[in-house]
Amino acid sequence: MSIANLKVKIFADGADKSGILELAQNPAITGFTTNPTLMAKAGITDYEAFCRELVELIPDRPFSFEVFADDFDEMERQGRKIASWGPNIYLKLPITNTKGEFIGDLAKKLAGEGVKLNITAILTLAQVRDIVPCLEGTPSSYVSVFAGRVADTGVDPLPLMTASVELLKLNPNLELIWASPRELLNIFQADAIGCQIITVTHDTLKKLSLVGKDLGEYSLDTVKMFYGDGLKAGFKL
């Protein structure tokens, strides 16, 4: 098992600027994604300034930035502005607005004008099937399926992700994202089914050094950790 042998592209998912810049030094990280929730948690107050600075500092890899409107006209206005910030930007649009209205018409309009899109928050195969025809005019776009959220409901996401790979095969301009993974193993699962991209949080990416680690050695490290922490805590019986 080796990161170097993977075909799936690893995108870092987060809004911590220092973490993004650090990860940009790692050649295994080939792109970046974020969203309004992550940015709010990170304390970002100037959306445009934050995004523009990152694109300027890291111009050689794709960034996905999301609209935060709910009305389709306002989504379009925000989307055009975001897309104008750089050629390496993929505009993130949610699969529906908060009323459950499908994003298809807006996606088709922007795709037809050459805007690179990242359709996000997808959790069903029907949503994948519906959005693919809307992206046929774009030079390159992502279909982001939240496999991790599917798994959170107790459902195995592998059949959904495998079927999604098949749906995208006739559209070479589209790439499937395995989004919201919960563990490093998901990187290898995504690679095995031919998924093109996986987005991974900064915390999970810190575990990359564990790939290929001898499990007997890892067991001993764990025992030493428990023992050391018990000593530091001063526990007595």
Instruction: Please provide the distance, in angstroms rounded to a whole number, between the alpha carbons at the two ends of the chain.
Output: 43
Mean pLDDT of the chain: 96
Active-site option among 7, 41, 92, 169: 92
**For the chain, how many structural domains are there in total?**
1
Domain with 38 in it: 3-209
Question: What pLDDT band is residue 34 in, cutting at 50, 70 and 90?
Answer: very high
Task: Report if residue 237 sits inside a domain.
Answer: no
Contact 88, 59 (CB under 8 A): yes
- Give which of 194, 165, 160, 190 is closest to 178, Cα–Cα: 190
Q: Are 106 and 130 in contact, with CB atoms under 8 Å apart?
A: no
212: left (phi over 0), alpha (psi -120 to 50) or beta: left
In 44-146, where does DSSP find H-type helix? 47-57, 72-83, 104-112, 125-131
Residues whose CB is less than 8 angstroms from the CB of residue 5 and which lie 6 or more positions away in sequence, other chains included: none
In the structure encoding, which two tokens stand for residue 218, read together? 């890892």
The string of pLDDT tens digits covering residues 105-150 is 999 999 999 999 999 999 999 999 999 999 988 999 999 999 999 9
Q: Which amino acid is at 26?
A: N
Per-residue model confidence as pLDDT tens digits over 52-98: 999 999 999 999 999 999 999 999 999 999 999 999 999 999 999 99
In this prediction, residue 1 has a pLDDT band, given cuts at 50, 70 and 90, of low
What mean pLDDT is predicted for residues 206-234?
A: 96
pLDDT tens digit sequence for 150-164: 999 999 999 999 999
Instruction: Determine whether 92 is an active site residue.
Output: yes
**Is position 192 within any domain?**
yes
Which CATH number goes with the domain that contains 181?
3.20.20.70
Is 135 among the domain residues? Answer: yes
